Amino acid sequence: MRDHIQTERLTLRRPRLSDAHTMTKRINDPEILLMTATLPMPFFTLSGEFWLMRVAANWRRGHSYAYAITGTDDSLMGIVDLFKNEHGDWEIGYWLGKEFWGKGYMQEAAKALLTESFHTLDIPYIDAGYFKDNPGSGRVLEKLGFVSKNETSNLYSVARGERFAGIELRLPRNTAHRWSETTLDQAPI
């Protein structure tokens, strides 16, 4: 996976420890944290530093590839992450600071990561999931071509302090080309 991925409006780059303060400022909102599985609420700068160190270690080990979503000023707007889930399958997860909602940034960032993932990794599909009370995330995934696995989940959320119902989706490699400018086999890496 590349260290930087450029889109029309965004740069996806490897997160840095120096992103911890901005990450804390952007993510510390119940509307964001309650929709994540592994992040605590409240989210302190120290939590961000630990998360960023874990992300760097997992990248080196090939277990996950998290990208900071940045705009023209290189300031962290959110995170989009490809990681191996508890079943060993690749899954995408993400969050975006509230001030950036409704502008199509997450769909743009996720599409770039999905394209990079299918180009770089020999994988047949990428999974995703969202909590039932987060229909906005479901809309992003549907626009990207994810389809229902006809499964629900009861995933534990650290911020909620309990399990909560979720929806499970999958994007097969052979359907991802629908939104790609070129097919995955023809696109340059």
Give the domains, in start order, of the chain with CATH numbers.
4-176 (3.40.630.30)
CA pair distance 28, 48, nearest whole angstrom: 11
**For residue 140, what is the DSSP state?**
H
Q: What is the mean pLDDT of residues 97-103?
A: 97
Comparing C-alpha atoms, which of 5, 132, 15, 125 is closest to residue 64?
15
pLDDT at 174: 87
* Average pLDDT value over all residues in the chain: 93
User: Across 64-73, 148-157, 173-182, which has the greatest mean pLDDT?
Assistant: 64-73
Phi and psi torsions of 95, nearest 5°: -150, 155
Average pLDDT over residues 62-91: 96
Please give the pLDDT value at position 179: 56
The candidate with the shortest Cα–Cα distance to 127, out of 172, 157, 95, is: 172
State the pLDDT confidence band at 151, using cuts at 50, 70 and 90.
confident
Q: Is the pLDDT of residue 162 over 50?
A: yes
In whole angstroms, what is the distance from residue 56 CA to residue 81 CA? 12
- Position 89 scores a pLDDT of 96
Reported as a single tens digit per residue, the pLDDT across 9-43 is 999 999 999 999 999 999 999 999 999 999 999 99
Contacts of 183 by beta carbon, 8 Å cutoff, 6+ apart: 177
183 pLDDT higher than 60: no
- Residue 88's pLDDT is 93
- The yes-or-no verdict on residue 116 having pLDDT over 50 is yes
pLDDT digits (tens, 9 = 90+) for 45-54: 999 999 999 9
User: Can you name the residues that pair with 76 across neighbouring β-strands?
Assistant: 70
| Partner residues linked to 69 by β-bridges | 12, 78
Buried b (16+ CB within 10 A) or exposed e, 40-71: ebebeeebbbebbeebeebbeeeebbbbbbbe
Mean pLDDT of 102-117: 97
- Reported confidence tier of residue 178, pLDDT bands at 50, 70, 90: low
What confidence score (pLDDT) does residue 182 get? 44
Per-residue pLDDT, 176: 74
Nearest-angstrom CA–CA distance, 95 and 93: 7
Residue 42, preceding peptide bond in cis (omega within 30° of 0): yes
C-alpha to C-alpha distances, 31 to 56, 92, 118, nearest whole angstrom: 26, 19, 31
